[in-house]
Structure 1
């Protein structure tokens, strides 16, 4: 998952999107049901066969739980939902509740696109949620959203392959050095052709930035307003990634990637890769399509034996767009949506990491077997999972860094030269 969604559209685009909205969609907030209930319009991008029935069951449960509010679910496709949200806020006809990106809450708060929720909740409200998630929804020490779900990354490994390679299946690699040692033992080569690759750091749900954070004691690119892009350990992380491609050969890496797909074609499920980094919901693919795979999960190996197993996380929040006609009713629905009952149901059906602590713990108690093992591992891993909210001083920094990292990995820049340039570029866009 990418760290954030930097969504800034010019006024012309806002106007174009606005004029494409129907008057019925814009005015739904003002409507009431025939029996006088206030209609709360809730926008989400959950339209799949898996997730839509779950969210609509939660909405129906809420609607049945009281007699004053009727929540109407409006599905909007991924991407469209946020441009339409900005346009509707600018026009003064927003939804009442929307699901949005957790790492860009402060951006919307600064731009006055989302409501301050502190007026609707007390200080104890935050105790329901994992602290690193609650911290991510703050702007000027006030909450502007409520965490809904999150993720973290684990190392999945094939126990059968470990046994074949003479490795203890109950002792996964703990450090980068061990990861390299294990990977070489797990490789299977037929002449110059690899039949199985032990590990490759950019496969799975992980990217270069996560390894850079892991190597740099959990530091992101910007920490407390200070740029930490061109650091010695981030340079070493990119050099380390490049070393994997050099050892395996670029043709090998590209040939394996060309075969990647989903479900049964996933290289870990197909047992063509012995170790793989992914989020907790990857377990559902293993459960449904990898029934013969004996696997284990572990934290991502740490940079050294003296450092933590840092991982990177993302997620989504429920928030009230600025100008909602029914903010109090909207907050009542958000309270239910992020409460233990709804969160537990969401986690059970989608295997997501939810933000509500009580809900997550109750899910663990009811799961069994591999499902319980994986979900417990994800919850434990939240302690070393870092979130990277986009600082308001550097709203567009990803677009300055990511292309340079891509070029470093393509060999167009050295890691040192590339990160030096990236830090210089980002320093120029600082907003005072």
Structure 2
């Protein structure tokens, strides 16, 4: 979840630079048209890789061939530039017609009048039923949709079955609770003297940060609830933070840092390299194992629940298709978005990319096009959406993470008590919201 928070916060900071500069009151230019009279829809994405660009352009080509009124033109912009250039274009009154944007900052763009309100186009309330409810909630601002969910992700526990067998653990019975996770981790540790050759598990490696573990422990509740009430210093979150610190205490902060220093990507990823026996990561991490793991024997399972009888909450993020404020052709842009987020296009995207999509029917249909381990892992990801939570950056506290993370770091370094640090973080965020 921490990566998504970082991306969302980056998006919010960019938005703040351009808020109040929208050119929405300026006279719009006429829609651009092709020689044969088709309305041109300029579609911006950051998908320029050899893998993803052909897939999105195939979807665009299929849409263009499916009707004779709209021509979609794909514009690729690098990840680091696309959102800044989008907001600059909105401010200048010349934005793209459709853009792929961060799901967790939709509310901020809506509040700052940087995205079109889609309620004028979405007349049928049943439309939102096509998408996972948790995703749809993120695209609404004051009850109206300002984007349509495109893709998403979810976190799973990956575990090394070979290491399980070596440690005398059943490779078909992954840990179900935090207590089991800790017990398994100690059995999976391998040491040469004081040096670790393999660490069974460390909760902050992978893509499930301290905030996600605290959410997992607190019945899926993030730092701020749906009513805007701050829920940082709950007893469940304090317990979770102390549990994470317990790994630092057992392994040693210096040992953790020294072990992490050798981490890399692909073959050097600690899980793929056999240096870590269990790790929580996005479901699509499987493609790295498949491509670089040399027939690695592994399993996937839901993130363990805090205790028996509790739900095993996971965390996710995603991207949306959005019409920037001031588009010359919003009606045509929305027609393309309907196609882009429809079952056919979403099924193709999911199966070709091994990516979690927002359209529920498409996610299920993609399974029929997958086989073997591909299908097994994708099924686990689809099932996991039921317990996957998203946490949009609150419009009243866009910088709340910057007030919480230093407190968490202080606890993990042994400088502060978890209860005191989280109480201070709660007061700070509450003060920010009141202002």
Q: Same fold per TM (> 0.5)?
A: yes
Distance 1:306 1:29, change over 3 A: farther
Distance 1:14 1:390, change over 3 A: closer
Q: Which residue of 1 aligns with 2:142?
A: 140
1:131 to partner: Cα distance: 1.2
Q: Tell me, in whole angstroms, the C-alpha distance in 2 between the residues paired with 1:208 and 1:53.
A: 37
SS in 2 for 1:429: helix
Q: Which residue of 2 aligns with 1:23?
A: none
Q: Tell me, in whole angstroms, the C-alpha distance in 1 between the residues paired with 2:344 and 2:223.
A: 37
Residues 196-245 of structure 1 deviation map (CA, whole Å, 9 limit, x = unaligned): 11100000111110001011111100002110011111111111111101
Q: Tell me, in whole angstroms, the C-alpha distance in 2 between the residues paired with 1:272 and 1:28.
A: 58
Alignment of structure 1 residues 146-295 onto 2, 5 Å: 146-223=148-225, 224-295=227-298
Comparing 129-138 with 83-92, which one deviates more in the overlay? 83-92
Is 2:385 the partner of 1:385?
no
1:14 to partner: Cα distance: 4.6
Q: Tell me, in whole angstroms, the C-alpha distance in 1 between the residues paired with 2:303 and 2:184.
A: 14
1:407 to partner: Cα distance: 3.1
1:8 to partner: Cα distance: 4.5
SS in 2 for 1:297: strand
Q: Which residue of 1 aligns with 2:25?
A: none
Q: Tell me, in whole angstroms, the C-alpha distance in 1 between the residues paired with 2:434 and 2:76.
A: 35
Q: Tell me, in whole angstroms, the C-alpha distance in 1 between the residues paired with 2:98 and 2:71.
A: 13
User: What is the alpha-carbon root mean square deviation over aligned residues?
Assistant: 2.0
SS in 2 for 1:343: helix
Unaligned runs of 5+ in 2: 23-27
Q: 1:2 aligns with which of 4, 19, 29?
A: 4
Q: Tell me, in whole angstroms, the C-alpha distance in 2 between the residues paired with 1:400 and 1:12.
A: 18
Residues 285-324 of structure 1 deviation map (CA, whole Å, 9 limit, x = unaligned): 1111113211111000110112110111100000111111
**Structure 1 stretches of at least 4 aligned residues deviating more than 4 Å after TM superposition:** 8-15
Q: Tell me, in whole angstroms, the C-alpha distance in 2 between the residues paired with 1:403 and 1:324.
A: 40
> Is the Cα contact below 8 Å between 1:148 and 1:355 reproduced in 2?
yes
> Is the Cα contact below 8 Å between 1:280 and 1:351 reproduced in 2?
no
SS in 2 for 1:77: coil
Q: Tell me, in whole angstroms, the C-alpha distance in 1 between the residues paired with 2:32 and 2:150.
A: 27
Q: Tell me, in whole angstroms, the C-alpha distance in 2 between the residues paired with 1:364 and 1:291.
A: 24
Q: 1:360 aligns with which of 358, 363, 387?
A: 363
Q: Tell me, in whole angstroms, the C-alpha distance in 1 between the residues paired with 2:244 and 2:283.
A: 23
1:412 to partner: Cα distance: 3.3
SS in 2 for 1:79: coil
Alignment of structure 1 residues 29-428 onto 2, 5 Å: 30-121=31-122, 122-223=124-225, 224-428=227-431
> Is the Cα contact below 8 Å between 1:28 and 1:39 reproduced in 2?
no
Unaligned runs of 5+ in 1: 19-26
